[in-house]
Chains A and B, each alone.
Chain A
Amino acid sequence: MSVPDGKRWFLPKESLDALIAVLHQQQYVVIGPVFHDRAIRLEQVQRADQLARGVRDEHSGGQYRLIDGNQELLFEYVVGPDSAKKFFFPPRQELFSLHVKGEQFVIDKVGPAAPKLAILGLRPCDLAAIAVQDRVFGYHQPAGDEAPWASGFRCESELYYTQAREQSLLIAVNCVRPGGTCFCASWGNGPQVNKDMPYDLAMTEMRKGFVIRSKSRKGAAIISSLSLRDADDAEVELEGLLLQRAAEHMGRQLQTDDLPQLLDRAIDSPHWDNVAKRCLSCGNCTMVCPTCFCSTVSDSDDLATGSTTRTREWESCYTHQFSYTTSGPVRSSIRARYRHWLRHKLDTWHDQFGVSGCVGCGRCITWCPVGIDLTAEVESIRRYDSRDENHAPPRITVEARP
């Protein structure tokens, strides 16, 4: 795991309000983790005392509970159901309204302007997920990337997303207490930020304050305006120890090095039938997944004004109607839909976007109503695979569009 170089400062707990004030001064809408509806949610905050404090989360397959934690600590939990996705790619968005006048379409309204957000308390896996969606929505193309998607192949090119991302400020919090369904370490996506992740500031919580580092000019400007002292050697050492311990306490593990090959071979694995018996095809996993990006558009009419509004909403590859074409749904069974999702996430995502679609946040495991566990399903597929070594159909590849 790569530890970013650079200087560490120390942000005392009582200066969190000063940090939020600086963000407000710079016209940011500040988002942070709050305790709301029995869960840690990402919502707008005005002051530091609105942030969730003294709560821990317990995660297992299909179960999420919050319990009392250390009242001195603000970030004793990991991720709730929300991720940054809902801010950059809103679950429901009116794209435009128009009406017909004579032979012409007249635009009545266009979509909302992208907000200027400072999101506080994102976890390293959330940052990894943002980096994935940056590729999906065409926000950022890492230099020197020769993958097919880099040559112009885009699933969607998304103006709102790119604007909101451009204006955003991301303040990450490293994880010192991983959850029961976390496996970010298996992907190298945590428990602390790394140099490939898109963040401005990253903090590690200690009892009296945070060891904080900056990656961008925006982040450095905020540090200097807060006039923080340098972190001392003991604090930096403690940070290292806390993060090392966290890496050793991941709730789940996943062997990630051979997944595309494994899942290509597993196209006819008997295990898909086993999962299909349990999968509800309800779509919860795709909704909470920080990288899933499927959406649908629909038109609605206003009887009074004659105006028609086009709205985009999150959709899921788990719905029967999602793959509906003139000849009917392409994936008509739950087995086919689960297989499609898992193979896309761990296998064909590489062909499409040059990275894995899974970041190891564990949300799909926690928030599956019947607790289907991605890491366990992959292990089962692996067991079937090792039993039948001759079973190796040709690799299916996705060609980039010319």
Chain B
Amino acid sequence: MPVQTITRKTETAKPKLAVYKFSSCDGCQLSLLNLEDELLDIVGAVEIAYFLEARRAEQPPPYDIGMVEGSISTPEEAERIRQVRRDCKYLVTIGACATSGGIQALRNWADVDQYKQYVYAHPQYVASLETATPIATHVFVDFELRGCPVNARQLLELITSLLKGRKPNIPNYSLCIECKRRGLPCVMVSKGEPCLGPITQAGCGALCPGCHRACYGCFGPMEQPNMDSLGHQLTGTQKRTAREMKHMLRMFNGYLEPFKQASDHYERQEKQNA
């Protein structure tokens, strides 16, 4: 087990941490840097061996923990991730891009060449893949942290649990559990908001419902989400259109099942309605 390897390592030298960036906005890496009160403790417990956003100095692989931000969207990235996997004993994807493909996975339903024409003056210089895909599509991933961005507490929990050699305490249940523990009144019930909380994995601490907003599902699907029932409620009682449903489901984790399947369903429905 990689967990044990890391624990053994602590007895002699500090475990080495590497943080990688692929196609992403850097927000998840920033979440790590934003752990201001704990950052010195983390540096005390692990050796930051490769983290270009934090320091210029690099130490050579192998690394004990590799954290990967971003999705695979270029041929170069598809190659690089294989080397990253070889370099890291324990590989963790951090955030929606690395775990589900992220916002850029919207291209998977579109024509990338057309997008390039719109955006770039000289699209011929842009080498990109037809799709943006999660890291786990390319290499074996030991653990996934969800969210856009990841939750800093969960990052810290993951690092400490790996150092202690115990299972990370990262729940898979619905956001509602966290939301109700905070004592927040359900925004769906009390305001009629189109909340994805009942199908979304907890972990953010109910950030959006805490600001009187509906959850937009940036932590992706929870364990066994009942897509049909929530969809029925949103399109029925709340009268949301198929187009709205598609957009909601595809926002951050659209390429992760079963959000993908459900969003495809609403796309077909949207076309039928048109």
B185-A39 in contact (CB<8A): yes
B189-A63 in contact (CB<8A): yes
Decide yes or no whether A370 CB sits under 8 A from chain B.
Answer: yes
Decide yes or no whether A62 CB sits under 8 A from chain B.
Answer: yes
A287-B185 in contact (CB<8A): no
> Given that A300-B157, A303-B160, A367-B189 are known contacts, is A91 also in contact with B181, CB under 8 Å in the complex?
yes
B183-A62 in contact (CB<8A): no
Binary contact readout B110-125 vs A (1 if CB under 8 angstroms, 0 otherwise): 0000000000000000
- For residue A62, give the distance in angstroms from its CB to the closest CB of chain B: 6
Q: Which of A81, A86, A277 contacts B229 (CB 8 A)?
A: A277
Residues of chain A within 8 A (CB-CB) of B225 are 280
Decide yes or no whether A316 CB sits under 8 A from chain B.
Answer: yes
B173-A283 in contact (CB<8A): yes
The interface-forming segment of B51-59, B143-151, B195-203 is B195-203
Residues of chain B within 8 A (CB-CB) of A316 are 173, 177
Residues of chain B within 8 A (CB-CB) of A86 are 183
A369-B226 in contact (CB<8A): no
The interface-forming segment of B74-82, B87-95, B134-142, B164-172 is B164-172
Q: Which of B173-188 contact A (CB under 8 A)?
A: 173-174, 176-177, 180-186, 188
A369-B190 in contact (CB<8A): no
B183-A82 in contact (CB<8A): yes
The interface-forming segment of B39-47, B64-72, B100-108 is B39-47
Residues of chain B within 8 A (CB-CB) of A299 are 166, 169
Residues of chain A within 8 A (CB-CB) of B177 are 282-283, 287, 314-316, 319
Q: Which of A283, A298, A315 contacts B176 (CB 8 A)?
A: A283
A288-B173 in contact (CB<8A): no
The interface-forming segment of B18-26, B230-238, B245-253, B261-269 is B230-238
Residues of chain A within 8 A (CB-CB) of B228 are 277
A280-B163 in contact (CB<8A): no
Binary contact readout A60-71 vs B (1 if CB under 8 angstroms, 0 otherwise): 001111000000
Decide yes or no whether B38 CB sits under 8 A from chain A.
Answer: yes
Decide yes or no whether B257 CB sits under 8 A from chain A.
Answer: no
Q: Which of B180, B191, B226 contacts A334 (CB 8 A)?
A: B226
B185-A81 in contact (CB<8A): yes
Decide yes or no whether A383 CB sits under 8 A from chain B.
Answer: no
Decide yes or no whether A265 CB sits under 8 A from chain B.
Answer: no
Q: Which of B150-166 contact A (CB under 8 A)?
A: 156-157, 159-161, 163-164, 166
C-alpha spacing A63/B238, complex, angstroms: 11
C-alpha spacing A315/B177, complex, angstroms: 7
B176-A278 in contact (CB<8A): no
Decide yes or no whether A321 CB sits under 8 A from chain B.
Answer: yes
> Given that A278-B229, A366-B189, A369-B188 are known contacts, is A301 also in contact with B172, CB under 8 Å in the complex?
no
Q: How many residues of A contact B (CB 8 A)?
A: 46
C-alpha spacing A270/B272, complex, angstroms: 33
- For residue B228, give the distance in angstroms from its CB to the closest CB of chain A: 7
- For residue B45, give the distance in angstroms from its CB to the closest CB of chain A: 5
> Given that A303-B160, A314-B181, A367-B186 are known contacts, is A321 also in contact with B173, CB under 8 Å in the complex?
yes
Closest chain A residue to B169, Cβ basis: A298
C-alpha spacing A314/B182, complex, angstroms: 10
A41-B188 in contact (CB<8A): no
Decide yes or no whether A320 CB sits under 8 A from chain B.
Answer: yes
B174-A280 in contact (CB<8A): yes
A37-B185 in contact (CB<8A): yes
- For residue A309, give the distance in angstroms from its CB to the closest CB of chain B: 11
Decide yes or no whether A92 CB sits under 8 A from chain B.
Answer: yes
> Given that A64-B185, A319-B223 are known contacts, is A283 also in contact with B174, CB under 8 Å in the complex?
yes
B185-A80 in contact (CB<8A): yes
Decide yes or no whether B4 CB sits under 8 A from chain A.
Answer: no
B233-A62 in contact (CB<8A): yes
A301-B186 in contact (CB<8A): no
Q: Which of B45, B171, B180, B224 contacts A284 (CB 8 A)?
A: B180
B180-A283 in contact (CB<8A): yes
Q: Which of B173, B183, B190 contacts A91 (CB 8 A)?
A: B183
Decide yes or no whether B212 CB sits under 8 A from chain A.
Answer: yes
C-alpha spacing A316/B198, complex, angstroms: 13
- For residue B213, give the distance in angstroms from its CB to the closest CB of chain A: 12
Q: Which of B3-20 contact A (CB under 8 A)?
A: none
C-alpha spacing A283/B200, complex, angstroms: 12
C-alpha spacing A288/B180, complex, angstroms: 8
A313-B181 in contact (CB<8A): yes
Interface contacts beyond A39-B190, A319-B172: sample of 8 additional A-B pairs, CB < 8 Å, sorted by A: A64-B185, A91-B181, A91-B183, A279-B226, A282-B174, A314-B181, A321-B172, A369-B188
Write the residues of chain A forming the contact surface with B, with a CB cutoff of 8 angstroms: 37-39, 41, 62-65, 80-82, 86, 91-92, 277-284, 287-288, 298-304, 313-316, 318-321, 334, 366-371
4 nearest CB pairs, A to B:
A287-B180, A282-B198, A39-B185, A303-B41
List 25 A–B pairs whose Cβ atoms lie within 8 Å, in order of A's numbering.
Answer: A38-B185, A41-B185, A62-B233, A80-B185, A81-B185, A82-B183, A86-B183, A91-B180, A280-B199, A280-B226, A283-B176, A284-B180, A287-B177, A303-B42, A304-B44, A319-B172, A319-B177, A320-B172, A320-B224, A321-B223, A334-B224, A334-B226, A369-B195, A370-B230, A371-B233
